[in-house]
């Protein structure tokens, strides 16, 4: 019985199971507390409830992209060019893009309720949207053909270029909006007066999303390793086949 279980084991371990269980638990608490237990906001009313999923997902998305940048830099700098850095960078970016998509969708829903509009050309929003597109491009570069080594170098360089690009985009958008009078955007979470339960729920949201992030990245990273190993094993078979192709002649 245990042997069968062992054979089918994929990327899960006891650690990931614990993290997964904790993530579900905290997430359930966030949903219950966010939707039911927490009070309305004085200014925003019910719509403040979106904050408990929106803000943590934004934080985690930014965190994920920072991880991608650091892992890419480590890959480039390290003498050994350990592929672990590359896989981590890729896994983190994938999860980050998902969280950024969540951020943009929940943010525009929240914006519709607080501003009456789905989208505002606010510097932070605009930069976030560009960040999203940039990392979608990064993932497209990762899928380009070539050896694992080529993929790692190319995507690490592109990730570094993204690090250059983002501040420029942000600064240009800030400068652009500051010169424009009129459209001043109120900061949605700035004027929320939070009581202890609201703060605690927001904090729990960050914890829950971090756990989800860790769980997803661990699994994704290991899956990437599995694919690399499977390719390598496939290569052994392919080499053997290729050799016989020669001796037939």
List binders of other proteins among 190-219 (CB under 8 A).
212, 215-216, 219
Interface size with other proteins, residues (CB under 8 A): 85
* Near other proteins in 124-143, by CB under 8 A: 130, 133-134, 136-137, 140-141
Contacts with other proteins in 140-159 (CB under 8 A)?
A: 140-141, 144-147, 149-150, 153-154, 157-158
Residues 170-189 that bind other proteins (CB under 8 A): 171-173, 175-176, 179
Instruction: Decide if residue 5 touches other proteins (CB under 8 A).
Output: no
Residue 126 · residue 174 · CB < 8 Å: no
Q: Nearest-CA neighbor of 137 among 107, 159, 152? A: 159
- Identify the residue among 4, 7, 116, 183 touching other proteins (CB under 8 A): 7
Q: Does 78 bind other proteins (CB under 8 A)?
A: no
- Identify any residues that bridge with 41 across adjacent strands, giving them in sequence order: 45
Task: Please list every residue from 15 through 74 that binds other proteins, using CB under 8 A.
Answer: 27, 31, 34-35, 45-47, 49-50, 53-54, 57
* Cα 6 from Cα 218, distance rounded (Å): 19
State how far the Cα of 238 lies from the Cα of 249, in Å rounded to an integer: 18
Rounded Cα–Cα distance for residues 57 and 44 (Å): 20
**Residue 226: Cβ within 10 Å count:** 12
Could you say whether residue 220 binds other proteins (CB under 8 A)? yes
R_g over Cα of the chain? 22
CB 190 → other proteins: shortest distance, Å?
A: 19
Whether the Cβ atoms of residue 96 and residue 57 lie closer than 8 Å to each other:
no
Using rule CB under 8 A, residue 234 touches other proteins: yes
As measured in angstroms, the least distance from the Cβ of 34 to other proteins is 7
CB-based contact 110:53 (threshold 8 Å): no
């Amino acid at each position: 019985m245990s042997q069968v279980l062992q054979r089918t084991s994929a990327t899960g371990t006891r650690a990931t199971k614990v993290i997964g269980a904790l993530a579900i638990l905290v997430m359930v608490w966030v949903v219950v507390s966010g939707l039911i237990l927490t009070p309305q906001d004085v200014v925003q009313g019910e719509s403040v409830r979106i904050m408990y999923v929106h803000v943590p997902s934004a934080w985690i998305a930014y965190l994920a992209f920072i991880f991608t940048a650091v892992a890419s830099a480590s890959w480039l700098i390290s003498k050994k060019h350990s592929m672990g850095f590359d896989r981590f960078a890729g896994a983190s970016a994938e999860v980050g893009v998902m969280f950024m998509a969540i951020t943009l969708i929940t943010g525009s829903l929240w914006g519709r309720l607080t501003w009456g509009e789905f989208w505002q050309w606010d510097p932070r929003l605009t930069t976030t949207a560009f960040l999203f597109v940039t990392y979608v491009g990064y993932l497209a570069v990762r899928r380009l053909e070539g050896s694992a080594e080529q993929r790692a170098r190319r995507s690490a360089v592109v990730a570094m270029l993204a690090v250059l690009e983002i501040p420029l985009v942000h600064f240009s958008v800030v400068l652009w909006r500051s010169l424009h009078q009129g459209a001043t955007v109120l900061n949605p979470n700035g004027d929320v007066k939070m009581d202890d339960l609201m703060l605690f729920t927001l904090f729990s949201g960050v914890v829950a999303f971090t756990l989800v992030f860790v769980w997803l990245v661990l699994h994704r990273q290991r899956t990437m390793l599995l694919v690399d190993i499977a390719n390598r094993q496939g290569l052994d078979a392919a080499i053997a086949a290729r050799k016989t192709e020669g001796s037939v002649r």
